[in-house]
């Protein structure tokens, strides 16, 4: 004997239109519909955020499905289970009763189950004389059968979104790696280009990326990085095409900015202007004894210690950071974009940045940094300027200051040990001999 099928919950719990809609959907399931309950549960678990379910509510749904004896849920079979709260709590790993009731309500609100409450709210089943179930009160699992196709589609949508998110993250990682390494290559190879500006642009784009970002934001950042990547790649490819493949310079990894095959003639610096970044003729002649290679970053930072204050977090780890600091120093010193561009064209961006760092180190002694940089740029075009003398002059001044401090009462001796060595300038013996050459 089948009695009335209740549609409203027991007690003070109200009925909502959403609950009625779930019941309508459950009653409209195709005749003979049958699903494997754990397959559907897997789809529900993957699409839980779109459905509105929680981890706790799914733990309860898992327990409810375990009370159904068959592996399949069929429209022709009995889809109501009637476990007590104690039984549900045991199968839900000891979940508290208050938490159990709250998350049962979540399952009802999500349309995953329907309450079939008895007149007194108890859960039980009434059997006929033959042992078959005539009436059951508890939780109806029919929405799982009726909406199985919907849950499968939602799960596929979630998987598609996960794949798209993973692809976006991979593209972001590859673009970041390529851009950083190509900028480093351009700087190390001496390729003409505004590498400092490119570095600042890259840092600005990456600065928009939070710790956890949605896929749309990642894709937008990738589009901006892709444009920067194209610009950097074109600069490197253009430089590669202009090189003579038979030239020895292609093996040394250095680009000669000056048309003079011997690079900047160091002998001309001694006969040029007698005053260069605070140095004199003897300092310019000192170029003859210096190694004919690029200035090491460590020596530049020793000579231009104030440059670190322009870097992010006050640290400069490589030439990329050094050039990024130049983009900060230029407007601070009042150097116009055109003057900076001309300096980069004449000296190369790295040498121009070193020159700017030396100017910044002595900013209190220079009236017009922009005019001074233009003057040095003009000399560089004639092959009469190199950044070496400027850096060496600053190093010599630093050594002289340390020597004077050591000779004063209370000063640290040159051969002191322990903490007295902290903050002292350390250079090679060859460089010290070069710096200490008697001035003529």
Q: Tell whether the model's pLDDT for residue 104 goes beyond 70.
A: yes
Domain boundary among 241, 258, 286: 241
Q: Average pLDDT in the 270-278 region?
A: 38
**Residues 295 and 403 placed together within one structural domain of the fold:** yes
From the centroid of its chain, how far is CA 437? 49
E strand or H helix that includes residue 80: strand 80-81
Q: Average pLDDT in the 263-286 region?
A: 38
Q: Tell whether the model's pLDDT for residue 222 goes beyond 80.
A: yes
Does residue 112 fall inside a structural domain? Answer: yes
Q: Tell whether the model's pLDDT for residue 432 goes beyond 60.
A: no
Does residue 342 fall inside a structural domain? Answer: yes
E strand or H helix that includes residue 126: strand 124-127
Q: Which residue has the tokens 């004997």?
A: 1
Q: Average pLDDT in the 394-418 region?
A: 66
Lowest mean pLDDT among 62-76, 194-208, 386-400: 386-400
Q: Is 119 left (phi over 0), alpha (psi -120 to 50) or beta?
A: alpha
Domain of residue 365, residue span: 267-435
pLDDT at 4: 53
Q: Average pLDDT in the 244-252 region?
A: 47
**Residues 126 and 211 placed together within one structural domain of the fold:** no
pLDDT at 345: 86
Domain count of the chain? 3
**Residues 171 and 142 placed together within one structural domain of the fold:** no
Does residue 3 fall inside a structural domain? Answer: no
**Residues 43 and 129 placed together within one structural domain of the fold:** yes
From the centroid of its chain, how far is CA 265? 44
Domain at 114, CATH number: 1.10.10
Integer Cα distance of 310 and 304 in angstroms: 11
Residues 6+ apart with CB under 8 A from 207: none
Identify the burial level of 268 via C-beta atoms within 10 angstroms of its C-beta, where 0-12 means exposed, 13-18 middle and 19 or more buried. middle
Q: Tell whether the model's pLDDT for residue 420 goes beyond 70.
A: no
Does residue 11 fall inside a structural domain? Answer: no
Does residue 1 fall inside a structural domain? Answer: no
Q: Which of 181, 179, 193 is nearest to 353 (CA)?
A: 193
Lowest mean pLDDT among 32-41, 69-78, 189-198, 429-438: 429-438
**Residues 288 and 383 placed together within one structural domain of the fold:** yes
Backbone dihedral angles phi then psi of residue 14, each to the nearest 5 degrees: -80, 165
**Residues 226 and 278 placed together within one structural domain of the fold:** no
Q: Are the C-beta atoms of residues 128 and 134 closer than 8 Å to each other?
A: yes
Angle at 331 between CA 328 and CA 332, to 5 degrees: 80
Does residue 153 fall inside a structural domain? Answer: no
**Better-scored residue on pLDDT, 102 or 292:** 102
In the three-class reduction of DSSP (H, G, I as helix; E, B as strand; rest coil), residue 224 is classed as helix
Does residue 249 fall inside a structural domain? Answer: no
pTM over 0.75: no
Angle at 26 between CA 20 and CA 27, to 5 degrees: 90
Q: Tell whether the model's pLDDT for residue 273 goes beyond 50.
A: no
b/e burial code for range 7-26 (CB count within 10 A of at least 16 → b): eebeeeeeeeeebeebbebb
Q: Average pLDDT in the 114-138 region?
A: 79
Domain boundary among 176, 206, 241: 241
**Residues 120 and 190 placed together within one structural domain of the fold:** no
Q: Which residue has the tokens 């045991």?
A: 90
**Residues 232 and 294 placed together within one structural domain of the fold:** no
Write down the H helix ranges in 286-385.
Answer: 297-303, 319-333, 337-347, 349-361, 369-381
**Residues 400 and 280 placed together within one structural domain of the fold:** yes
pLDDT at 155: 95
Integer Cα distance of 27 and 142 in angstroms: 8
Beta bridge partners of residue 274, listed in sequence order: none
**Residues 37 and 182 placed together within one structural domain of the fold:** no
**Residues 188 and 97 placed together within one structural domain of the fold:** no
Angle at 80 between CA 108 and CA 54, to 5 degrees: 30
pLDDT classification of 245: cutoffs 50, 70, 90: low
Does residue 100 fall inside a structural domain? Answer: yes
**Residues 196 and 285 placed together within one structural domain of the fold:** no
């Amino acid at each position: 004997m089948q009695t009335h099928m209740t549609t409203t919950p027991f007690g003070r719990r109200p009925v909502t239109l959403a609950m009625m809609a779930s019941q309508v959907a459950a009653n409209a399931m195709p005749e003979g519909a049958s699903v494997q309950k754990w397959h559907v549960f897997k789809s529900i678990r993957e699409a839980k955020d779109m459905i509105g379910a929680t981890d706790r509510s799914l733990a309860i749904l898992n327990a409810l499905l375990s009370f159904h004896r068959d592996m399949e849920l069929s429209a022709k079979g009995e889809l109501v289970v009637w476990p007590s709260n104690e039984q549900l709590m045991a199968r839900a790993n000891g979940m508290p009763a208050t938490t159990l009731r709250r998350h049962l309500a979540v399952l009802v609100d999500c349309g995953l189950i329907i309450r079939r409450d008895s007149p007194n709210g108890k859960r039980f089943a009434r059997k006929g004389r033959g042992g078959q179930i005539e009436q059951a009160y508890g939780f109806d699992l029919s929405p799982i059968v009726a909406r199985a196709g919907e849950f499968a589609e939602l799960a596929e949508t979630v998987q598609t979104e996960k794949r798209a998110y993973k692809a976006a993250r991979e593209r972001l990682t590859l673009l970041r790696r390529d851009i950083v390494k190509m900028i480093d290559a351009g700087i190390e190879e001496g390729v003409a280009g505004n590498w400092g500006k490119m570095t600042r642009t890259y840092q600005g784009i990456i600065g928009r990326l939070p710790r956890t970002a949605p896929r749309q934001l990642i894709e937008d950042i990738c589009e901006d990085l892709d444009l920067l990547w194209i610009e950097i790649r074109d600069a490197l490819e253009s430089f590669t095409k202009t090189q003579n493949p038979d030239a020895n310079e292609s093996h040394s990894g250095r680009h000669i900015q000056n048309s003079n095959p011997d690079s900047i003639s160091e002998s001309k610096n001694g006969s040029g202007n007698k005053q260069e970044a605070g140095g004199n003729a003897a300092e310019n002649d000192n170029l003859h004894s210096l190694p004919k290679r690029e200035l090491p970053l460590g020596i530049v930072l020793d000579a231009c210690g104030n440059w670190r204050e322009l870097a992010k977090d006050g640290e400069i780890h490589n030439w990329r950071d050094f050039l990024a600091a130049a983009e900060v120093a230029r407007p601070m010193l009042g150097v116009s974009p055109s003057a900076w561009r001309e300096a980069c064209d004449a000296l190369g961006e790295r040498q121009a940045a070193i020159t700017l760092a030396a100017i910044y180190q002595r900013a209190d002694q220079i009236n017009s940094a922009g005019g001074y940089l233009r003057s040095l740029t003009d000399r560089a075009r004639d092959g009469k300027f190199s950044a070496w003398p400027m850096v060496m002059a600053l190093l010599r001044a630093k050594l002289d200051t340390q020597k004077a401090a050591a000779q004063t009462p209370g000063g640290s001796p040159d051969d002191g040990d322990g903490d007295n060595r902290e903050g002292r300038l350390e250079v090679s013996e060859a460089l010290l001999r070069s710096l200490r050459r008697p001035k003529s």
